[in-house]
Structure 1
Amino acid sequence: MARLLGLVTLLLIAGGTAQAQAPVPSIDDYAAMANMSSVSISPNGERIVFISGESRAERSIVVYSLVGAAPQVIDGGDDQVLAAVSWANDDNLLATYSERRDMASVGERVDVFRTYVIRADGSRNWELSQYKSLANRDIADPDSMLVWQPVLQDNRGSRSAGDGVERAVGLFRQEFSRDRSARRVFIGEGGFNYVLNAENEPVVRYTTDDGEFELWANLDDSGWDRVYNENLTRERFRFGARRSDRWTGRMTNLAGLDATGQFGYFTSRVNDDRAAVFRFNFETNEIEGPVVQSDLADVGSFIRDWRTNAIIGVRWAEERQRVEYFDETFAGIQSQLEGFFPDSNVSISSWDQDFRRVIISIGGGQTSQSYYLLDRQSGEMAFLAGAYDRIPDESVASVEIVHFEARDGVELFGYLTLPPGREARDLPLVMLPHGGPQARDFYGFDPWSQFLASRGYAVFQPQFRGSEGFGRDFITMAHGEWGRAMQDDVSDAVNHLVESGVAASDRVCLFGWSYGGYAALAGATLTPELYRCIIAGAPVSDIFAMMNYETGRFGGASVTYWAEYIGDWRSETENISRISPALNADNVQTPLMLVHGTDDLIVPFEQAEIMAEAMDAAGKPYELVAIEDGPHQSYRMTVDNVRELYTNLERFLFEHNPPDAN
């Protein structure tokens, strides 16, 4: 169980003393799961709940008392992945699990998330129906919470609502005793999404139907009035008989209301590119904004005050995390904390009903991930625990933001993690492109980068075109550019780091997972002269075989996504063949290691086998590391999975690109 420490003042936390360099943590230290995560405080401020345990078998839910009672430890179970825990009220918890199931309805094995209601004393638990979602806690009624649930609405004989049966949304008061104990509070009209006010009343609704967005309000309980509507623009992408539609407009959603109920906040793209925050003024029935926008990134992860349902701020990621609060009290605390922790991402993550006790999360900078308890009445802050307490702060490698320019003039950046105690000069470098590819890396403590840096390597994570969160134009810039401009971005990052003197030109290796694994194989076959060794994790090696797999999975639901990114593999066979690594194994010139989990549902293990067969046919040496029962996603990996990955990474890199030049 994570160890909770004593109180210190903000002033003392801000200070620091020089310490001797700590011993290098072991592979087991880095493979251990976070020993404190999903931390939140109960509504009455008397208890903290979090997930603890450094392995799947040790995972538990810990309920820690702030008023002197003994801690309660609830077994998290080792047959599912315990993903998150939070308070439903002062006596009940909501725990989210991920598990792998055979879904007969779709004929596939899939990963599903399930929510359980757990008594905080561990005395009982039951599974919340997958069709229900939390609407809000309700402190006024300690025996229940509010949930949304789909219902069938019988309108037969009704002229106004339509003569038929349609699916609608219902607001229910869910008893904590068992799943079936739910009382109806409100039934909405079919097709609408609803927004609650501070009294948990549905007062705003919206819909996008037949290419039209409609916003309705009932703020004074006088009946529903349509206050805004617009015709949306449909963009259609066709791939054979398949198509995907995207509706765009000034307003297509509503996240929630402010504390006064005057404004409704939503996101919309400026010039159809980057998402920004706008608001709808219900007094004037006009759109205002953008009220928050970025010149680099999409903005729009709203922060909600659970006590009032109010939108109080927004959090987004540029090179670093950015937070802007609309509430002055929260804004003041955020500003003060950022002053104390200038090199870290600071988040106000949980608070009690009186807003006296507040959980603070600190990540990045010279810490892995730390949690504090702020008492606003006394002004003191308690250090609770570090997420990775096997890795002391003095062993955390520093992370720098490095900007570079692609060969076609596109401005890019990435995260450079430097090995502790070494000058940023002529270093052995591991390039680490992310998966997705429509994903991104974030500033902070990245376990894979930190492990490699602890072994003496500089690690660079390039945010190549196609990365998520930097606007729609940045995404579409990558369409049709697998193995082309996207790969050029990775190569240009290597050249920049070499030319700036950070990396030695003959000591660069390329390691990636998923799409990053494809990028590693593309590096091995398209630009082998850049790299001393290649490590491809869960890689796509044969695009044609991969597309056959995707076409057969879930009825080909993701085929249009792949077609946008890759192109038409059915007709553009020559172009696709050029960027398909298994068809170009003859070009491999450097040591290659393939690493793949045998229980990967995203990129099947067959992809590694195809590349191995191609290497055999080309007479090229390679290694294939099959992680038994290993999944695709890192959050599903066991400690044994991660230990096997890290052990082979260290061995292979030490052999083919040792951290000390030779």
Structure 2
Amino acid sequence: MSTRFSSTLRIAALLACALALPAFGAEAAPPAPPPIADFFDNPAFSDAVLSPNGKFLAVRYSNDNKRDRLIVIELATNAIKVVAQFGDRDVYRFQWVNDERLVLDTTDKSIGPGDAIYGPGLFAVNRDGSSFRQLVKISGNFVQEHGVARASLPANHYLVTQKGAQASDDVYVTNPKRDGLNERGEIMYVNLVRLNTVTGRTETVMRPGPARGWLLDHKGEPRLCITLEKNIETVWYLDPATKEWREIAAFDGYLGGKEAFRPLAFGPDGTLYVLSGAGKDKMALHTFDLAANQVSAEPLVALADYDFSGRLITSRDKLLGVRYLSDARATAWFDPKMKTLQATIDAALPATVNMINPPARPDSPWVLVQSYSDKQPERYTLYNLDTGKFNSVGSTHERIVPAQMAEQELVRITARDGLTVPAWLTVPNGTAVGTTVGTAVGTAVGTAPGTAVAKRKNLPMVVLVHGGPYVRGNEWRWSADSQFLASRGYAVLEPEYRGSTGFGTKHYRAGWKQWGLKMQDDIADATKWAIAQGIADPKRICIAGASYGGYATLMGLVNDPALYKCGIDWVGVTDINLLYTGHWSFASDMSSAYLKYGAPTLIGDPEKDAAQLRATSPLLQAARITQPLLLAYGAADQRVPLYHGKKFHEALKERNPDVEWVVYQEEGHGWSLPKNRIDFWGRVEKFLGRQIGSP
């Protein structure tokens, strides 16, 4: 493979990070699998963004596993400046305000959600490190603040990441108003506040109603407001001619409908782009006529097998292209020069998806390229348009060697009722696969139902069920969870069961009120497909998942006890009624409006569907689960509070002696701390080794 890296500019080396980035296409593989920490540690390098003029690169980076700091590199001279760092916090989100100034907020990666009492705050700084200013407090007055506060806004103000024109000193922050005195109260509405990053001056934007979302136009001005009253979502447009808000659409905010659409962005010419089904099965990218208040009849971008999901790529005055997700990320360029540039970069880096990020107002030869594949974690490089050379910036998992990773492919399986169910299949390194997805990025790739896949072994397999459930589970990319399991010798199957989004309205709506029923059948049918293909050893299959995936794990053991030898549930729902009834010991972050207007139709009505919810309750069916189980929960979880796990564990342990139970006291809905991720996946490795690791 031909890759050209400049000998004069090595950003990764200049940052003094020992990333030891392997060359693309490296073949050597060590005899031992990579350590758990290689998959689940926090990365040293985690993000990079070009300035609007393309002359400077802002990088978030930590050295020797210390605090994440913000670094600015002047690309013409390679001069490096640390512009923001904290002794007790990490730089989190950041963006360019303009060519001279940046804004950033913070987090604390050393503590879990249960111990977090601080807000993210907000700070601004010039690219040379001068004029550092705190704009939003991190917490109350009893906590030491950073810098000179100078009338900082209260901690309940949060950065809006929409970039706008990046031509002034202003940014926008949101200010949620809640019905209680603390952060656990439900949001009543969200204010939008214009904030000057130099002076700290603020101006609150007038709301047309109980706002829940805002959209800026290409110039960075508020242009759309989305309000929610009961279940009705209304879209308001701030007409520049009248400077008044006017309603342009209204529909069910939880269940959608034929007329529903989702605003995406404004183009440089003021055109509003939206996502709409327009009466068809798949969501597509459309324009919206603001005079007639209607979605365009013909889409701008439509995908045959997927709902459109993506974003616009613009310059100062032109729509350059659209980035979208099919099986993997891809870009449809409307600009001929960018289309040619994409072809050039893809020819140099043929084994990866290559996402080009041009500066908004280019005044330099640099573009930033994000590259990844199923085997390669995301890597950032700079490409010089004048010299045609690449320069490494960093990799988000620097110790991962692509040659040691497993191939992933998208297969399509026919469920028992005829519905096509996509599924992601990852097989251990060295096991042949039938379809190389990386050679067909941006297309619907996979083996047809019933197609034999040659040279596969009878492998132990983990059926990994995604959470949500009404989300898309995966895409063609490197994934720590599946790659870790594959590195330990397991095939991994991840079904996009009915109810998953991204595959059309029919597929999504087929999952309504199907928890533990047809959604569960899809997972079982995908498992049986893998057995029929000779991929999975029928005696060595474990089902696993988090959140809804944890629920599906438990129901899989109930419904199909002969199919799954064991189960791994972390932060999983154990009873649907508990989502509604809650518990005195902890507040759930599910809104009362969703539980009233959305959940009864999507999940099940606690009164009308009472019999169904009893039959599909792992808690009430616990006596039927005799397989070995690993259960893990976060004590600070507000989505699936700990009592879900505790009640189920109590119901299970009297009849099932083979249950491993772990609670991470400081964690919420998932594992935020590397020590807990490493501990959990170490437990998973040992558990699987005992249950299905030997023939």
TM-score (norm 1): 0.80
Further displaced range: 292-301 or 514-523 = 292-301
Q: Identify which of 56, 62, 68 aligns with 1:47.
A: 56
Structure 2 residue 426 is the aligned partner of structure 1 residue 421: no
- The one-character-per-residue Cα deviations of 1:141-194 (angstroms, maximum 9, x if unpaired) are 5xx13547899xxxxxxxxxxxxxxx999885x433243x2579xx77846999
Aligned pair in 2 of structure 1 residues 168, 616: CA closer, same or farther (>3 Å)?
Answer: closer
> RMSD of the TM alignment (CA)?
3.9
Residue 478 in structure 1 maps to residue 501 in structure 2: no
1:406 equivalenced with 2:427 (yes/no) = no
CA distance in 2, matches of 1:41, 1:652: 45
SS in 1 for 2:307: coil
Residues 434 and 189 of structure 1, relative CA distance in 2, 3 Å threshold: closer
Contact persistence 1:55–1:638 (CA under 8 A): no
Partner residue, 1:364: 373
Q: 2:357 aligns with which of 349, 356, 374?
A: 349
The answer to whether the aligner puts 1:523 opposite 2:531 as a matched pair is no
Q: Which residue of 1 aligns with 2:689?
A: 654
Within the alignment, does 1:278 sit opposite 2:321 as a pair? no
Q: Given the alignment, which residue of 656, 673, 694 partners 1:638?
A: 673
The question of 1:558 aligning with 2:594 is answered: yes
| Pair 1:577-2:614 in alignment | yes
1:410-447 Cα deviation digits (max 9, x unpaired): 11111112211245311110111111111221210111
Contact 1:320-1:442 within 8 A present in 2 as well: yes
Q: Which has the higher contact order (CA 8 A, sep 6+)?
A: 2
Q: Decide which structure has greater strand share.
A: 1
Could you tell me which amino acid in structure 1 is paired with residue 403 of structure 2? E
**Which 10-residue stretch deviates more, 293-302 or 403-412?**
293-302
Deviates more, 1:132-141 or 1:265-274: 132-141
Question: Residues 603-622 of structure 1: matches in 2 within 5 Å?
Answer: 603-622=640-659
Report matched runs for 1:313-324 at 5 Å: 313-324=321-332
Aligned partner of 1:526: which letter?
A: N
In structure 1, the residue corresponding to 2:619 is in which secondary structure? Answer: helix
- Matched residue, 2:183: none
C-alpha distance in structure 1 between counterparts of 2:519 and 2:71, whole Å: 44
Q: CA shift at 1:250, angstroms?
A: 7.3
- For the 8 Å contact 1:5–1:382, the answer to whether it is kept is no
Residue 113 of structure 2 corresponds to none
Give 2:198's aligned residue: 177
Equivalent of residue 299 in structure 2, options 277, 280, 290: 290
Amino acid in structure 1 at the alignment position of 2:397: Y
Residues 12 and 394 in structure 2, CA contact (< 8 A), matched pair in contact too: yes
Contact 1:435 1:516 in 2 (8 A): yes
Distance 1:51 1:571, change over 3 A: same
SS at match of 2:37: helix
TM-score by length of structure 2 reads: 0.77
How far did 1:479 drift? 0.9
Q: Check whether the contact 1:598–1:628 (CA below 8 A) recurs between aligned residues.
A: yes
Taking structure 1 as reference, are residues 458 and 378 closer, same or farther at Cα in structure 2, changes over 3 Å only?
A: same
Alignment of 1:432-581 (within 5 A): 432-439=464-471, 440-549=473-582, 553=588, 556-560=592-596, 561-581=598-618
SS in 2 for 1:86: strand
Amino acid at match of 1:574: A
| Separation of aligned partners in 1, 2:108 and 2:35 | 30
Counterpart position of 1:312:
320
Q: Secondary structure at the match of 2:362?
A: coil
| Aligned equivalents of 2:215, 2:166: Cα separation in 1 | 19
State the 1:345 CA deviation.
2.8
Residue 623 of structure 1 pairs with residue 660 of structure 2: yes
Q: Between the two proteins, what is the percent identity of the paired residues?
A: 25
Matched residue SS, 2:12: coil
1:117 aligns with 124
Please tell me whether the aligned partners of residues 248 and 293 of structure 2 are also in contact (alpha carbons under 8 angstroms): no
CA distance in 1, matches of 2:288, 2:603: 39
1:451-494 Cα deviation digits (max 9, x unpaired): 11111111111111111222333222111100001111110110
Distance 1:376 1:352, change over 3 A: farther
- Count of aligned positions: 606
1:177-219 deviation per Cα after TM superposition (whole angstroms, max 9, x unaligned): 243x2579xx7784699987766678x778889998786865x
Alpha-carbon spacing, 1:118–1:657, altered in 2? closer, same or farther (3 Å): farther
SS in 1 for 2:298: strand
Unmatched 5+ stretches in structure 2: 1-9, 15-21, 110-115, 137-152, 177-188, 433-455
1:392–1:331 CA distance, 2 compared to 1 (3 A): same
Give the superposition deviation at 1:94: 2.4
Superposition deviation, residue 450 in structure 1: 1.0
Q: What residue is the counterpart of 1:145 in the other structure?
A: 170
The amino acid across from 1:387 in the alignment is T
> Deviation per CA, 1:507-541, whole angstroms, max 9, x where unpaired?
11111111111111111122111112111111111
| Offset at residue 362 of structure 1 (A) | 0.7
Hey, what's the Cα distance between the residues in 2 that align with 1:420 and 1:245? 42
Residue 590 of structure 1 aligns with an amino acid whose one-letter code is Q
- State the alpha-carbon separation in 1 of the partners of residues 24 and 678 from structure 2: 35
Give distance in 1, aligned partners of 2:691 and 2:63: 31
Q: Which residue of 2 aligns with 1:383?
A: 392
TM-fit CA distance, 1:139:
5.8
Q: Quick check: 562-571 or 574-583, which moved more?
A: 562-571
Contact 1:517 1:538 in 2 (8 A): yes
